A and B are shown apart, each in its own frame.
Chain A
């Protein structure tokens, strides 16, 4: 769902870029406040893994594929602030090195995938984990549910950007139906990948999963 240049107008893109830059500043400050030194390489690994996984488009329906967004995956593993930073790094590298995602559209993509995908997705995860009883064993399931919902959520974020500054006169209702319909299907793939990866890390090194530590504190409190 990397938006290329030319789809969202310049003024709107500049506004989104300002929000994205401000968000990155806040995210870096918050990350510095909780991420320990040993977690820095872990968060960098999450960035590398999300980049890698985004290269693997999976077929969804005839004529359409999807790929991991990775926001919920990153936020559950390293926390929402570091998750925002991780997704932003991936998007910057993709736009600057691989010409994937527009340059003027970078801010819109960061807001859509890092802010909505990782930070918004983590909020959905936190609520879901609580609804599932706050049980550690159910963390991969909660992550999968949040991952599923995060994809249509990010798609709605695109529709909003298009409503504000879209360069083509298309029906917003039709656009919303098409974006949400297609991305609900892609969300299934997002849920499977996120659930499997979070499950694997929980099985081997649950101490490295931010979402699990946070849950433990709440249960203990």
Chain B
């Protein structure tokens, strides 16, 4: 790995910001429907929605079912989401990068 310390610090600092946004700031998110949901209700095609197969999973709707405590559930969902997106993104982009370099070291 040839990543300078100050870039490493930037990434770690950025991850800290992402964790705070996903676990803490998200607690204050508006619960109103988003733009598409609003239009779907208004135009009358919201009823066509088929429930997501994983709608009953503990992490569905960002942790609603993780615990009885909604705040904790959302914080846990936020932490998991940040970790998984970072991990999957890292793996996929690392593989794309490695392939170019001829699967060397």
Contacts and interface: CB of A to CB of B under 8 A. Distances in A.
Interface of A: 1-7, 28-29, 31-33, 35-38, 40-53, 55-60, 63-67, 82, 85-86, 89-90, 92-100, 102-103, 155, 158, 166-168, 170, 174-175, 178-179, 182-183, 186, 204-205, 208
Contact of B88 (A42, A64, A92, A95): A92
Contacts of A97: 59, 80-81, 84
Contacts of A64: 32-35, 38
Nearest to A49: B18
Contact of B22 (A40, A47, A52): A52
A43 B91 CA distance: 11
B97 A40 contact: yes
Contact of B4 (A38, A46, A51, A175): A38
Interface string B44-80: 1100111111110101111000000000001001101
A32 B14 CA distance: 23
- The contact size tier of chain B is 35 or more
A1 B36 contact: yes
A64 B22 CA distance: 21
Contacts of A31: 93, 96-97
Task: Say whether chain B's binding surface is mostly helix, strand, loop, or mixed.
Answer: helix
B3 A37 contact: yes
A55 B22 contact: yes
A196 B32 CA distance: 24
A197 B86 CA distance: 18
Contacts of A89: 85, 88-89, 92
Contacts of B96: 28-29, 31-32, 35, 85
18 contacts: A1-B36, A5-B49, A44-B93, A48-B14, A51-B82, A52-B21, A52-B78, A57-B31, A58-B29, A59-B30, A64-B35, A90-B85, A93-B81, A97-B81, A99-B61, A100-B62, A103-B53, A205-B10
A155 B99 CA distance: 35
Given A64-B38, A94-B81, 12 more contacts: A6-B49, A41-B8, A44-B93, A48-B83, A48-B86, A52-B78, A59-B32, A63-B32, A63-B38, A93-B81, A99-B57, A183-B35
B48 A48 contact: no
B2 A93 contact: no
